[in-house]
Structure 1
């Protein structure tokens, strides 16, 4: 019987638990087949960015080559949405005489329900489904407080995470990163009895000469992001060996190339969190004991990503667009459509906000400090619901990730974990002056401001030559907006107490 590996957001050969297990479970002469199912209608519902889908298409072409070197064919199917996935997989198991399906767990609600239906469908035909915890370094449910509950605040989560990690490594004695499977040599995966040329979807006749993939979804060119294994590996190594030591000092300055830019690869699983952590620990083995170091600061970011996944698993309501803190349902958002449009197009009159939003629209990526600035501006200065920003980000980001995106937006909006509604209101002008003091980043993305002196680059309307600019004046007064935001959240909190939601 064949073994089928169902790939989702784990598009890699190295450190892929499901793939490795499928190869280890196979008996002599049993083929291993890999499968990826595109779901364009589901992508639309989840606001997936066209540039991310192009990135996935390009990555799948490279992945097919990597799998072909292991004598594992990759089948790529397209169905409308998750509801159509069980029938698709069942048909393939019957077509290729599959007795066992392997996949890595996803923690979001729609994905969980899809997997339950797939499991039921397969079980009714006596086909086994094995699902593995692979997306996190430490699987959800293992990092708990003294009461045995999941953490709701990051810092104690991270401290316990470190302890659990050390215990896990000591008790299991297993390598952090799993190797790629060994090549299958006792069969020819290109034989007709393994892959029927007449019934494949996107599988090419020659698995070693893969063709491009084109899903029924709009795409934006992602060519600036390499997708081959060696380029991805080199990007990780270069960051850890050359930039991580100064990460804490450089990460907040968008004009400096000081961040890893690995988030797109993590988002589609071309790279795993374990690979990142392992490479960091190899270069900086004492970094967990040195919280002032750049290496520890990047480690902290990796654990934030893991924290948001644990939250999604523990609190399914987050997948349904609910706020983490129930009392914030009473926040009276203003939701001004003109203000929202100005924010989306980078025309708010606040240079650091506008430059960031224009970068997002042009490249599908945004510097992390800027993500916090623009999120604070939308939710606090404009009092527009965080969901509008969350959806805009997902529909444009090449590294769009539901857990991280939702977590980041709710953090900025003070509706999520570590909520600080009374002082987490960023001043966009001061943020720009602090992190882009000479306006290098602003001038790159806002050509209208190229002649504005450094002194006025973050407040160009105060410059004597402002009348010559084709750049909008600020759409709100930050001081007044800040006071209104604080008062709005205070009233929501009081109402929540009356309603028993606090």
Structure 2
């Protein structure tokens, strides 16, 4: 006699995929009837402009996921409003046995899930990270606040977890009474650089890991190209990981497979996997923040409240070409490499001594892959505040960095067209030109540097040292 299906609600959040999604893993030999639900929360999307690139990517991802589910005979039930009001109603009307959702360590999500968990049976699953935050702890059962020991503990667990991709037992069906038409009210412009679909995420991963399709880029040259600003040296999977169009566990699974079959690329693959470990590290820190001592100097650090210099940084008018190129790429494309993020953050917090929270907020407004825990974690690390931060005396010199990672000035010329006609010796240091040369090269009003690097470095070191001595 056929068993009646177990009814569950899939509350879609940051897991917009069908492949390797723990929410859809059925651990019983009983059919599973899944009602896919997405709630557009106005309190969350209201923080951003109507043309925000991250929201656009999210809505396009939803459209793509709905198309995939329609191919399976179902449809997403999309609502606009407060999840605390909507989820319990759907749970009751559908007659579900539980609501399943992927765990999210952000403070907003925890508060929301705690409230809803009191109204309906809410089962939070893994899937956001390769290894769960509770599974990577020290021998004394404490959370790691520094990356290196975290990574050593994480590595073997990541190998094990990524090798145990779940198998679907029994039949899974999707309900088709949902109404996704509300998506028509939101942005639908296609993003040529980051097409939003699970298939695109899989294609990017396979292309990046291929050792034959891209012999001069991708994994083959990852270690030497990952920091280059004038090349596409990274996988650019971050937006897809941000919204769960691809499983981080599956990503690591395929990377380990390349490592096993091609040991000569151990250095390249291991370096790339370590970048994924950083993502897990920040997720773990967000999950375990209550365990860390309060070593955040943010509140009483003597930040400079210089709004004019902040604006110059935001809009790429600092007079330092590499910084300006980075900030202009951010505003136009909504994505910059990790090296670019570190350079921009270091300049704002060290050379300008402006509060890292100003910069973190600007990044979150413009990044297509903006993630609060990774974004805040990265900014605190660069600024030298918070648990496990980088040494305060680590100050990136934008000129040195530019010559190293954009040696011919191609990146600067692309994003700072005022300097497109300058020869390589001057493209990173245009202030070395005479007034006559500036006119001859038609620099179109490109500004002089807003700060002297040597003076700024001395000021930053003096300020940090004084603070450390008094705390």
TM-score by length of 2: 0.90
Partner Cα distance (1:49, 1:141) in 2: 37
2:166 is equivalent to residue 178 of structure 1: yes
Aligned to 1:144: 137
For residue 23 of structure 2, the aligned residue among 3, 9, 18 is: 18
CA contact (8 A) 1:355 1:442 kept: yes
**Superposed displacement of residue 411, structure 1:** 1.0
Change over 3 Å in CA distance of 1:134–1:331 after alignment to 2: same
CA contact (8 A) 1:49 1:396 kept: no
Partner Cα distance (2:373, 2:359) in 1: 14
Change over 3 Å in CA distance of 1:134–1:351 after alignment to 2: same
Aligned to 1:423: 393
Aligned to 1:495: 470
Gaps of 5+ in 2: 1-5, 212-217
Q: Identify which range, 46-55 or 384-393, moves more after superposition.
A: 46-55
2:226 is equivalent to residue 251 of structure 1: yes
CA contact (8 A) 1:57 1:213 kept: no
2:233 is equivalent to residue 233 of structure 1: no
2:277 is equivalent to residue 303 of structure 1: yes
CA contact (8 A) 2:29 2:170 kept: no
For residue 277 of structure 1, the aligned residue among 248, 252, 255 is: 252
1:395-415 alpha-carbon deviations (Å, 9 max, x no partner): 000010111111111111111
**Superposed displacement of residue 290, structure 1:** 8.4
SS in 2 for 1:473: coil
Q: Identify which range, 421-430 or 433-442, moves more after superposition.
A: 421-430
For residue 422 of structure 2, the aligned residue among 452, 458, 483 is: 452
Partner Cα distance (1:483, 1:100) in 2: 59
SS in 2 for 1:461: helix
Partner Cα distance (2:168, 2:59) in 1: 22
**Superposed displacement of residue 25, structure 1:** 5.2
2:242 is equivalent to residue 267 of structure 1: yes
**Superposed displacement of residue 189, structure 1:** 3.8
SS in 2 for 1:2: strand
Partner Cα distance (1:362, 1:450) in 2: 18
Partner Cα distance (2:404, 2:192) in 1: 32
**Superposed displacement of residue 160, structure 1:** 1.2
CA contact (8 A) 1:331 1:492 kept: yes
Aligned to 1:108: 106
**Superposed displacement of residue 416, structure 1:** 3.3
Aligned to 2:214: none
Change over 3 Å in CA distance of 1:100–1:419 after alignment to 2: closer
CA-atom RMSD in angstroms: 2.6
For residue 9 of structure 1, the aligned residue among 8, 11, 14 is: 14
Partner Cα distance (1:377, 1:303) in 2: 26
CA contact (8 A) 1:375 1:413 kept: yes
Aligned to 1:466: 438
1:442-462 alpha-carbon deviations (Å, 9 max, x no partner): 000111001111001111010
SS in 1 for 2:185: coil
For residue 32 of structure 1, the aligned residue among 31, 34, 48 is: 34
Q: Identify which range, 377-386 or 94-103, moves more after superposition.
A: 94-103
Aligned to 1:351: 321
1:247-288 alpha-carbon deviations (Å, 9 max, x no partner): 11001111111110000000111112112101111111278x
TM-score by length of 1: 0.84
Change over 3 Å in CA distance of 1:107–1:426 after alignment to 2: same
2:124 is equivalent to residue 131 of structure 1: yes
SS in 1 for 2:367: coil
**Superposed displacement of residue 130, structure 1:** 1.6
2:305 is equivalent to residue 330 of structure 1: no
SS in 1 for 2:205: helix
SS in 2 for 1:230: helix
Aligned to 1:207: none
Aligned to 1:433: 403
Change over 3 Å in CA distance of 1:308–1:46 after alignment to 2: farther
Change over 3 Å in CA distance of 1:18–1:393 after alignment to 2: same
Query: What is the aligned residue count?
Result: 455
Gaps of 5+ in 1: 123-127, 205-210, 497-502
Partner Cα distance (2:286, 2:264) in 1: 29
**Superposed displacement of residue 119, structure 1:** 1.1
Change over 3 Å in CA distance of 1:111–1:427 after alignment to 2: same
Aligned to 2:150: 157
Aligned to 1:395: 365
Aligned to 2:65: 63
Partner Cα distance (1:214, 1:495) in 2: 54
Aligned to 1:214: 185
2:337 is equivalent to residue 370 of structure 1: no
SS in 2 for 1:31: strand
CA contact (8 A) 1:48 1:395 kept: no
